[in-house]
């Protein structure tokens, strides 16, 4: 993929049956369903040729139709968002007759995503032909976030390749007196090489993936690398109703909202 124009699609996996927050894709932020914010902000990225919402729920398809968003129905048996994205891209390619180089998976609970985040996430593919999957990460700025099991954490090597993802507070604070240890959270903007996403979907789910409930551990347990890209945007995913309240406050003065939410 290095040094060529990439044909890139954005896919937003979303389902109504979240265990921590049922119905959250259609929960409203500033009067607009969350999935509408995610879709509208993804459409602002100039690197994405198209954006689709991938879901197993008719309510989400109906809302997508209402706002003119493209959507694709998937099975209701997927445990992981990346598995849903893999099914979606194959269906989209069959319908459109077009094959993509890179699939950017943007979680439907990331309403503070920016076009720049998406653009930055695909840059490693242009520089290193060996990279198969990328994640964004952001600094953890509070003890509450570090200990929050709803916030996936990641530790990286010196070249910013992931070593491990966990919902536990990693790295440990127990054996150091340092207050400002380098701690990062996973931001769920995840580009895959298209062919690797299909390969990933056919890999056996792994123990640590299931224990942590984090897709990327499947990649690591099968001996592959995940390139991490540091993102300094102050973003917050929505995992609980309390997160929704916080994110609505954070987005109240967001200049991007004023562009698409009129």
Integer angstrom CA distances of residue 255 from 114, 243, 250, 259: 11, 20, 11, 7
Q: Mind listing the pLDDT tens digit for each residue in 61-120?
A: 999 999 999 999 999 988 889 999 999 999 999 999 999 999 999 999 999 999 999 999
Question: Among 3.30.300.30, 3.30.450.20, 3.40.50.300, 3.90.550.10, what is the CATH number of 8-260?
Answer: 3.90.550.10
The span from the CA of 77 to the CA of 55, in Å, is: 11
The span from the CA of 224 to the CA of 203, in Å, is: 12
Check pLDDT > 70 for residue 1. Answer: no
Q: Would you state the pLDDT for residue 80?
A: 85
Check pLDDT > 90 for residue 156. Answer: yes
Q: Would you state the pLDDT for residue 3?
A: 42
The span from the CA of 12 to the CA of 50, in Å, is: 11
Q: Would you state the pLDDT for residue 105?
A: 97
Mean pLDDT of 127-140: 95
Query: Domain residues of the chain, as ranges?
Result: 8-260
Cis amide leading into 171 (omega within 30): yes
Q: How confident is the model at residue 232 (pLDDT cuts 50, 70, 90)?
A: confident
Only one residue has tokens 């954005």, namely 10
Q: Mind listing the pLDDT tens digit for each residue in 18-54?
A: 777 889 999 999 999 999 999 999 999 999 999 999 9
| Cα 259 versus chain centre, distance | 22
Contact 141, 121 (CB under 8 A): no
Q: Which residue has the higher pLDDT, 21 or 58?
A: 58
The pTM of the whole model exceeds 0.85: yes
Check pLDDT > 60 for residue 190. Answer: yes
Integer angstrom CA distances of residue 140 from 42, 145, 189, 199: 24, 7, 17, 32
Dihedral sign from CA coordinates of 239, 11, 79, 171 = negative
Q: Report the mean per-residue pLDDT for the chain.
A: 93
Question: Rounded to the nearest 10 degrees, how much is the dihedral formed by the CA atoms of 42, 16, 205, 123?
Answer: 10
């Amino acid at each position: 993929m290095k040094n060529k124009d990439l044909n890139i699609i954005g896919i937003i996996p979303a389902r109504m049956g979240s265990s921590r927050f049922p119905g959250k894709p259609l929960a409203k932020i500033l009067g607009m369903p969350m999935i509408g914010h995610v879709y509208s902000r993804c459409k602002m990225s100039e690197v994405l040729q198209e954006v689709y919402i991938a879901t197993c729920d008719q309510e989400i398809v109906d809302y997508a139709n209402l706002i003119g968003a493209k959507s694709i129905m998937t099975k209701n048996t997927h445990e992981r968002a990346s598995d849903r994205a893999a099914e979606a891209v194959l269906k989209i390619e069959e319908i459109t007759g077009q094959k993509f180089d890179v699939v950017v998976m943007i979680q439907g609970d990331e309403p503070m995503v920016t076009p720049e985040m998406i653009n930055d996430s695909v840059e490693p593919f242009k520089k290193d032909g060996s990279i198969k999957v990328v994640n964004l990460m952001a600094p953890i700025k509070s003890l509450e976030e570090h200990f929050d099991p709803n916030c996936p954490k990641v530790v990286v090597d010196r070249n910013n390749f992931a070593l491990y993802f966990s919902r536990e507070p990693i790295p440990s604070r127990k054996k150091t007196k340092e207050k400002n240890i380098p701690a990062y959270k996973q931001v769920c903007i995840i580009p895959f090489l298209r062919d690797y996403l299909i390969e990933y979907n056919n890999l056996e789910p792994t123990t640590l993936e299931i224990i942590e409930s984090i897709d990327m551990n499947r990649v690591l347990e099968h001996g592959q690398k995940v390139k991490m890209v540091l993102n300094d945007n102050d973003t917050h995913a929505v995992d609980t109703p309390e997160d929704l309240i916080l994110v609505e406050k954070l987005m109240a003065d967001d200049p991007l909202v004023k562009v698409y939410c009129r």
